[in-house]
Structure formats: structure tokens, C-alpha cells
A and B are shown apart, each in its own frame.
Chain A
Amino acid sequence: MSKPPSSRGAGARERLQHWLPKLVLSPSFVLVLFFVYGFILWTSYISFSDSGMLPDYTWAGTRQWSRLWSSWTWGIALHNIWVFGLLYIVSCTLLGLLLAILLDQRIRAEGTLRTIYLYPMALSFIVTGTAWQWFLNPGLGLERTMHSLGWESFSFNWLIDANMAIYTVVIAAVWQATGFIMAMFLAGLRGIDGEMIKAAQIDGAPTWKIYLRIVIPQLRPVFLSAIVVLAHLAIKSFDLIVAMTGGGPGNATAVPATFMYSYAFSRNEMGIAAASAVFMLAVIAALIIPYLYSELREPRS
């Protein structure tokens, strides 16, 4: 399709038309090559170098990597992202599916409810973090409110409890993202072929059974997309933790993203920061590339 017709000979205009599409695409492509792939290579190299405060291109083998893996904080960060990611993905998926199914019952105020479930997605994580930090503030927030409403024994101090603080971040993150996942499932539900369902209904199958046996299995692609989107969001989560707990108390809510940031910009340990970033990229790539490959390989109509 892109070849110019040869019969009329290659006039200057036609040659231009032939090159124009590539010319138009090339600035973006060059930007991406340099700022994405060039930078990935650079950071990867730095992770094998002696870099501290400034880049130092002396090859240092795996020194930075072994320093990373022997770091106590990195261990906490990995543990946290695992706990956070798992709870976040599972809660958002189940809650999003539940809300979508409930909303899919010809609800009268569906539009309004959808807007309400979805609006947190429009907020910055910093706003969300600020709001929830205040909401869960042990001195003045929910706890104090419950006391003033007469529930004297109510206690909720997870935000300042090193063992529980990560769960407050999960709560806020789930609050923020569930609506989006709900919307994905809702779109999936609307796209399901109704014939099998009608047949099952005629057979007198109960509604829950129809959902479990017919509807949910057909939503498999949506599950896959939702989990990929959520896992990717979880690994990148940085803002919410900074705003809610600042990684604290102590290092209790450190995650790889906050770890990388603090080693890069406060501790001036460029090499370790680069190694942690490469690790994050590797995990996401292992997740995303097979997904993208399968999505793009499908024949398009």
C-alpha cells in the first residue's frame, strides 16, 4: 500500500508522499528510542558501575546489585509491594466485579452511581493520600469521630502502627481504583452474548449459578486486563505512599518506588537506585510483554 504507483514514474511529489508518513512518525519514534530505550540502557549500565552521587562509568560488576540485595530496607520494600500488590489486585478485582454485577441489574440511578464509584480515579494520589491521612488520623479522624458519637472503645491507629500502616495504603488505593475496574467489568458484561444466558434461564437455572457458570467465565479477558492494569499500577505506586505515610513509620511502608527515589535523590547512591529501577522494570516487563504480545498478535477485524 505504501509503494507509489510505478507506472507514472516517481515524481518528486510522489516520492514525498512516499516518505511523508515515515517523516511524520519519526520525531515520536526518535524521542521514544532515546528517552525510553536509550535511558533504559543507560540506567542498566549505571547499575553495574561505581556511580554514587555522580555517574562514574567504571565497571563495577555486580557490586551495586549485591549491595541492593543485602539492604534491609530493600527487603522491607519487596515484602511490602508483595503484600500491597496482592491485596490491592485481589480486592479491586473482586469488588469491581461485584459492583459491576450489581450495577448491571437495570438499576434506575446507574449513571449517577457509576459516576460516584468512579470519581476517585480522577483525583491525584497526593489528594487521595492527604484525604485518607486525615480520615484515618488516630487523634482527630475516624477514631475521634467514633468516640464523639459514643463508641468509646473504638480504636483505629493503623496509620501510625508500623505493622499495619501498609494496610491503610491498601484501603486508600482500593478506594481509588475499584471504580475503574468496575467500569471495565461493566463494559465486559454488556458485551456478553445473551443467547446462552436465555437458554439457561429457560432451563430454570438460578441467577447465581448463571453468573458463576456462564457469565464470569466469559469475562476472562477482562480479568486478564484488570489484573495486568492493577499489577502495573501497584508496582509503580509511589505518590500515594509518599502522601499518606511518607514510607513510614520508620521504613515500615517503603516500597521499591520510594526506595529508588530516596537512594537516587536523597542518599546519592545512584548505582543502587539504578539497580532497583532495573529490577522494577524487569518485573513489569515480564508481566506486560507477554500480555502485549498476545493482544497485538490477535487478528484485527
Chain B
Amino acid sequence: MSAASPVARRNPFARAMLYAVLAGFAVIYLMPLYVMLVTSFKPLTEIHQGNMLALPDAWTFAPWREAWGSACIGLECSGVHGYFFNSIKIVVPAVLISGLLGAFNGYVLTKWRFRGHKIVFGLILFSCFIPFQIILLPMARVLGILHIANSTTGLVLVHVVYGIGFTTLFFRNFYASFPDELVRAAKLDGAGFFTIFFRILLPSSIPIIVVTIIWQFTNVWNDFLFGVSFTSGDSAPITVALNNLVNSSTGVKAYNVNMAAAMVAAVPTLVVYILAGKYFLRGLMSGSVKG
């Protein structure tokens, strides 16, 4: 329910103003995406003529084809598609592993409490908030020692390690409100640790699984700092490739190709958000994030 009654419900003028302001903000929020999209479908000559708001006179898919398959990033001229698949290779295992660990941690920290569980949770939780600059230097060395520097495997490890904090937080807060009685009854019936988890808690965990997957997927897909610090060349994720493409200083700037590449990098998270954003917000706001 709304907190206060609608602003001047009986006043049609105020109501119209309200909608106008909201629509105005909507236009501002959509503008960059719109400009990106129309630019990515324009030939370069049209871009140089000006007016970035205009729809393309001659629609072309060439910038998208070039961004995907033939744009030059560094010395390699094969577009962003390889980097796109790198990101997928990083995201899928990183999300699954960190999610699974988080679920177990949340379960232990709420239903199998031991002395010191609060300190353990506090220590894990704080890792969500550290500025990652503090771990860049030692991580680069450890990845080198493990022979997974400059590889997608290395980035999976990095994302799992620094994702555990959030996934543990999500599941812990979700399971904290799961009735203890059910778990206690199952324990009395002789059900073991894993039985209780898989039979009783997991089936009702769908909302928090959705939140965790969306959160981790978005974070890992959009990561730039780890990608740029720990990879170069062929094993870089899409965000690093996009930045190299856009901010390389050689040659004529192909703005349409840049925008198409940016869209390629944006589409997966946008799709996830549009399809499942509603569940994400609902889960997030039902207290799963607040400590």
C-alpha cells in the first residue's frame, strides 16, 4: 500500500503534472539506450552529419556484423565474439559454484549454528565491501603461482572467492526466516544434514536462488577490474574487449561499431533483467539484502 494517499487525488491538474514529470524522467533514462541503438544501425557518414537522435535514413546491420566478427581489438581483427564466449565461460561456473557455496553457508549459519557463527558470518560478509584494489597485487601473484594467470579459469576462481560474501548473505538472510521447527522436527526424525537441506530447505528456496543468480550473473558479466587486471589478449572478458575497442586511439573512430559492440556486451544482462528483474526486486526488497 502507498504510504500516503495519492497526491491530490481529486486534483486532475496535479495528477497530470505528476504523470508528466514521471514520463520526463522516463525519457531521460531511456535516451542513452535509444541513442546507442540508433547509432549502431547508422552508416558512419550519417553519424558525421549530426543529429544523434534521428532514426537512421538507411538502416544497416553492418556495424553489428563488424562488431561481432571483424572489428580490430588490439592486433586481432575478429570482433568481440571470442570475448563474448570468454565471458560466458567465466560467468556460468562462477555463478553456479559461488551460489552453491553460499546456499550451504547460509544453511549452516542459520540452522546448524555453532559457537562463533556470528564472527564467521561477519568476516565473510565484510568481504563483500572491501575495495578490490586491496587484493589486486597478491591475487595477480597467486594466479601466476597456480598457473592460471591470464585465463578464464583464473577469473572463475576470483569471482567465486569474492562472490561468496554476497551469496552467503542472501541465503543466510533467507534461511533465517525459514521456520526452525520444521528443521528441528526433521532432526528428531533422524534426518541428516544433507537430507534436511535438499528435501526441506532447497525446494522452497526458488526466490532466493533467482536473486542470487541474477545478482552474481550481473556482477560477474559486468566486471571490468578483475578482467583488465588479470587477463590480456585472447582470454579477456567482453567488458575489457569493449573498452579496448572503444578507447583505442588508432584509426578513424567507428562510433556505430562501438555502439553495436556495447549493445552486444549489454544484451545478456538486459535480457536477464527484463525477464527476471521483477522477481529480483521482489526478493531483494523482501528483506533478503538488509542484514
Binding site for B on A (CB under 8 A): 1-2, 17, 20-22, 24-25, 27-29, 31-33, 35-40, 42-43, 46, 55, 99, 102-107, 111, 113-128, 130-135, 140-142, 144-145, 147-149, 175, 179, 183-184, 186-187, 189-190, 192, 194, 197, 201, 207, 210-211, 215, 225, 232, 235-236, 238-239, 242-243, 246, 256-257, 260-261, 264-265, 270, 273-274, 276-278, 280-281, 284-285, 288-289, 292, 295-296, 298, 300-301
Contacts and interface: CB of A to CB of B under 8 A. Distances in A.
B281 interface: yes
Question: 3 tightest CB-CB pairs across the interface, nearest first?
Answer: A295-B291, A21-B112, A124-B222
B279 to A, nearest CB: 13
Given A277-B134, A277-B136, A127 B127 contact: no
A292 B259 contact: no
B193 interface: yes
A25 B258 CA distance: 44
Contacts of A104: 2-4
B255 interface: yes
A261 B32 contact: no
Interface in B171-210: 176-177, 192-194
A184 B285 CA distance: 7
Interface residues of B, number: 102
A134 B129 contact: no
A123 B193 contact: no
Contacts of B31: 135
B107 to A, nearest CB: 8
Interface string B131-145: 111111111011000
A22 B274 contact: no
20 contacts: A21-B114, A22-B108, A25-B109, A40-B135, A42-B137, A43-B134, A104-B3, A117-B29, A120-B32, A124-B221, A127-B239, A134-B52, A134-B255, A144-B52, A148-B50, A210-B4, A264-B133, A273-B133, A288-B129, A296-B125
Contacts of B221: 124
Interface of B: 1-8, 18-19, 21-22, 25-26, 28-33, 35-36, 39, 47-53, 101-102, 104-105, 108-109, 112-114, 118, 120-127, 129-139, 141-142, 160-162, 164-165, 168, 176-177, 192-194, 218, 221-222, 224-225, 228-229, 239, 242-243, 246-247, 255, 258-259, 262, 265-266, 269-270, 272-274, 277-278, 281, 284-285, 290-291
Given A134-B39, A276-B133, A17 B21 contact: no
A43 B137 contact: yes
Given A102-B22, A295-B290, A37 B123 contact: yes
A22 B137 CA distance: 31
Contacts of B161: 31-32, 35-36
Contacts of A126: 222, 224, 239, 242-243, 262, 265
Given A40-B134, A243-B247, A296 B105 contact: no
Nearest to B229: A265
Nearest to A178: B29
A2 B112 contact: yes
B2 A36 contact: no
Contacts of A105: 2, 6-7, 18
Contacts of A145: 50-53
Contacts of B29: 116-117, 119-120, 175, 179
A204 B127 CA distance: 49
B51 A148 contact: yes
Contacts of A261: 133, 136, 225, 228-229
